[in-house]
Structure 1
Amino acid sequence: MNKALMGGYGVALIAVMLALCLRASSEQLSSRECENLGFTGLALCSDCNTLSEYVKDKELVSDCLKCCTEDSNDATTKITYSGALLEVCMRKLVFYPEVVSFIEEEKDQFPSVQVQYVFNAPPKLVMLDDFGHQKETIRIDNWKREHILQFLREKLKPKPLASN
């Protein structure tokens, strides 16, 4: 084979490899795979880009990008829920002081949020529709109390005021 022909194959091979790498890095993972990695699917892709500025772990950022939601202003970002279950393992609560703080000091602001103690469960919010059916599960292991508050204020429908 002549060198020009081999050079063309080399360029084509590199192009194919690059395309495969880009495709692999942009693949989406299932919600279970993301949850096992500690991602909820609620992270916006712009959050992953911000993460990459502070955390130099390329694999972590790649996993984040595989589990994130594209930033948008469409109706899906405006979804609200009728209630929520905060599931947590009572034995593991000691490892989650922010969740404990929320339960003890802030939970009463949200009458539609119920705390449920589930053996060996990581802290998570199970969002419920009008019929009490589970619609979305969000892990909150590393959330600060103020993040839990903000999320619930944005995602829970306000309770109608009782009329006299």
Structure 2
Amino acid sequence: MISERRKIIPFSFIILLISLVVCTGVAPPKSGDSSLSCHDLGYTEALLCSTCADFEEFVGDNEFIDECKRCCSKESQNSAFPHIKEFIDKKSGDYKKLSVRYESGSNPKLVLKDNEGKEETLSIDSWKTENLEEYLKENNL
């Protein structure tokens, strides 16, 4: 019994030592280490600066916000869907039942919900401002 215990103690010590070496080898970098790339920090090229602004509103970590702002890309002023952007900017406030939600990387769509909560989704990426207005008026939205 004592002989087994003497074997276990050195074995346990070796495991503890290996664990310590492994853990220090993969320890997170110090917060002041600015040599890490945005990719190393977990950010992709798709990160928009507006996302950082959203994070800033809800997250109190200034270091995280600074990293986010350093790694983000400004939104293009040339919208991929200029007619939809025009509608949102100039006309969406006229429709009380309409709410606008931005989803990064998603094409524009209109999600209609009935009184029972059933949803119907329409792709509106090719719609012009006039088409969207007409559709909303015809459906009393």
TM range (shorter): 0.3 to 0.5
* TM superposition score normalised by structure 2: 0.43
* TM superposition score normalised by structure 1: 0.37
Task: Select the structure of larger CA radius of gyration.
Answer: 2
Choose between structure 1 and 2 for higher RCO, CA contacts under 8 A separated by at least 6 residues: 1
Q: Give the number of the structure whose residues are more often strand, by fraction.
A: 1
